[in-house]
Amino acid sequence: MLISQGDFLKNRIMHNPRKMNHEDVQRVRLEILQREHRDLDLAIAALDAGGRADALAVRRLKKRKLALKDEIQRISDEITPDIIA
């Protein structure tokens, strides 16, 4: 049975809450931010599909989504080692 990285980290948190290193914490945070980004994408699509979306609300959601994308990229860059070819 394959276990996802997120499930592995959640299991590790529950059983060893004080033994997580910085990278593990960042991976969990990355997963949370990615989930929030997907949720915002769905919320924006739902508002647009309704046809009666408040333009200001949609703009704020898109701005938050963009900020999340930047934070996701920053954390991903921190976790992923630089490979010099």
pLDDT band at 20 (very low <50, low <70, confident <90, very high): confident
Domain ranges of the chain: 5-79
pLDDT tens track for 26-54: 999 999 999 999 999 999 999 888 787 88
Answer yes or no: is pLDDT of 12 > 70: no
What pLDDT, on the 0 to 100 scale, is given for residue 6? 65
Amino acid making up residue 68: L
Q: What is the number of other CB atoms lying within 10 angstroms of the CB of residue 27?
A: 20
pTM: 0.71
Element (H, E) at 56: helix 55-79
